[in-house]
Amino acid sequence: MKTIKVLALILGLGMFISCEDQLNVVPEDNVASNTVFGSVATINGAVVGIYSLNQSGDLNGNPQLMGDFMADDVNFVGSFPSLQEVDQFETLATNTTVDNVWLDGYQLIGAANNVIVNLPEVSVDDVTGLTEATKTQLVAEAKFLRALTYFTLVNWFAQPFQFSGGSNLGVPIVTQPFEGGDIAEFQLERSTVNEVHAFIEQDLLDAVANLPEDNGVRAEAGSARALLARLYLYRDQFNDAANFANQVIGSGEYTLASDYDFYDNNPGSSENIFVAINTPTDGPQETTVSDEVYTNFYNAAPGGRGDAPFSADLLADFGFAVGDTITDDRRFDELSTPATDAGGNATFFTTKYPDIINNASDGMILRITEMYLIRAEANLRAGTSVGDTPLNDINLLRTRAGLPDLLSVDLDGILTERRKELCFEGHRRMDLLRNNRNLRPGGGPESAPGANKVIFPIVEDEFTNNPNITQNPGNF
């Protein structure tokens, strides 16, 4: 099983703690350092807390939604002012949604730092049942989650690597524990994108070396390899991207599913590498309904808000014609539903996040299909055939989608298949920016690569209280 569910994490800690202890593993967030490392149960509770923070709709929900409608996959019709600002490339430093992404991201990083810095110093002689192997694995899990979060932050608050070879400013790198998400106390300038990427890379390499290949419901070595493959693709390191994607594909831990039932219905599917699982009793970190982004925005009204339907441009890529209800592509026919959006328009919505009633749809973070797409693109752009040819990889995915094989494939063809396969999972914005393409069809300068508002401003709280940090151009 390749999924992350906090409830399951707690129930699955038998490898480390007794049944009596399992019910008491609850110190998820603000546990004093002098108590959290006093027992195996509380140490595990601290790590469970990092996974819990990763469930936040501001880390796994809103970034994916904004990555869709800021680009050309979604026709956003919502009425939330903070999301309208993002959609219209008018985001201000006071934007509450952006502020929450920043704060929740650094809250998780602070919690991860607590484990990464303090757990290695704990003597196994002082904690009953604690072993060096357990310590090493838990630190590696914390490093994976920290790397994943830094990757989210640098992708949103900085121009991509291609903007200036990574020499442009990224986000501050904080390596010490701290309470909450406020890092202004550190008075740090932003590190460059290259520096942030190098930090992420090292965390992930450490995770690869110290996580088991099969780690049940937790992050495992394949999770770290998969995120490394994505990082290298975003950095145009195509040989590295192809090699790491190929390692994941060849590991035998994950296989391409035969159909699309793995969305929410089969969290243990071998398709999944790392998934944020939300249940009716264990959903996103916050308790407000609006925090379950997947349910409220992607799903059609009245069950959901109906704010994020397919764009006309995405429908066209699926081969949809006016008056049709189906196409030849199973990724549309089986993963969409016709409905009326919040603006009263007849349109289509994704069904990748179907749990409206329980407000508990799952969020895809890493899955094996992306590895085939990364390998295909990286091989094409490097002129290599690591593992297989780009054409074979793309045709493998097209066969599952019920489409005929292509006779040849170029970069446009790969990006189109990538779009259709990964739509509504938050990849589209970065795929366009890193390939120097406008975020909107026929878009103007405000949505062009390198434009000021295709990235977020540094949030007002940080900028106001940290005199050493530099704001992004065009933001105040």
pLDDT of residue 305: 87
Q: Look at residue 12 in the predicted model and tell me its pLDDT.
A: 39
Residue 295 lies in a domain: no
pLDDT tens series, the chain, 476 aa: 444 444 434 333 443 433 323 223 333 444 445 578 999 999 999 999 999 999 888 999 899 999 999 999 999 999 999 999 999 999 999 999 999 999 999 999 999 999 999 999 999 999 999 999 999 999 999 999 999 999 999 999 999 999 999 999 999 999 999 988 889 889 999 999 999 999 999 999 999 999 999 998 789 999 999 999 999 999 999 999 999 999 999 999 999 999 998 886 566 789 999 988 777 776 665 544 345 687 788 888 777 888 999 999 999 999 887 666 677 899 999 999 999 988 889 999 999 988 777 767 778 899 999 999 999 999 999 999 999 999 999 999 999 999 999 999 999 999 999 999 999 999 999 999 999 999 999 999 999 999 999 999 999 999 899 999 999 998 75
- Calculate ∠ Cα 183-185-188, nearest 5°: 70
**Which phi and psi (to 5°) does residue 125 adopt?**
-70, -20
Asked, for residue 61, whether it belongs to a domain, the answer is yes
Cβ–Cβ contacts within 10 Å for residue 301, how many? 16
Q: Is residue 57 part of a domain?
A: yes
CA dist 70 → 39, 153, 394, 440 (Å): 46, 16, 26, 8
| SS3 state of residue 62 | helix
The Cα–Cα gap between 326 and 321 comes to 9
356-396 tens-digit pLDDT: 777 677 788 999 999 999 999 999 999 999 999 999 999 99
| pLDDT given for residue 33 in this prediction | 55
Q: In sequence order, which residues have a C-beta less than 8 Å from that of residue 322 and are 6 or more positions away?
A: none
Domain-embedded: residue 338? no
Beta strands in 333-432 (DSSP E): 336-340, 346-350, 363-367
178-222 pLDDT, tens per residue? Answer: 988 889 889 999 999 999 999 999 999 999 999 999 998 789 999
356 belongs to a structural domain = no
Q: What is the pLDDT of residue 315?
A: 94
The Cβ of residue 115 has, within 10 Å, a number of other Cβ atoms equal to: 25
What domain count does the chain have?
Answer: 1
Residue 10, domain CATH:
1.25.40.390
Closest alpha carbon to 211 in 146, 114, 268, 142: 142
Residue 331 lies in a domain: no
Look at the block and give the residue holding tokens 């959609």: 87
CA proximity to 381, closest of 405, 406, 407, 414: 414
- Does residue 357 belong to any structural domain of this protein? no
pLDDT at 356: 74
Q: Tokens for 127?
A: 């904690």
Determine the number of helices (DSSP H) and then strands (DSSP E) in the chain. Answer: 19, 4
CA distance linking residue 290 with residue 407, whole number of Å: 45
Q: Is residue 276 within a helix (H) or strand (E), and if so which, with residue range?
A: strand 272-276
15 Cβ contact partners less than 8 Å away, ≥ 6 residues apart: none
Locate the DSSP E strands across 282-370: 336-340, 346-350, 363-367
> Which residues constitute the domain of residue 198?
6-283+363-465
Instruction: Tell me if 472 is assigned to some domain.
Output: no
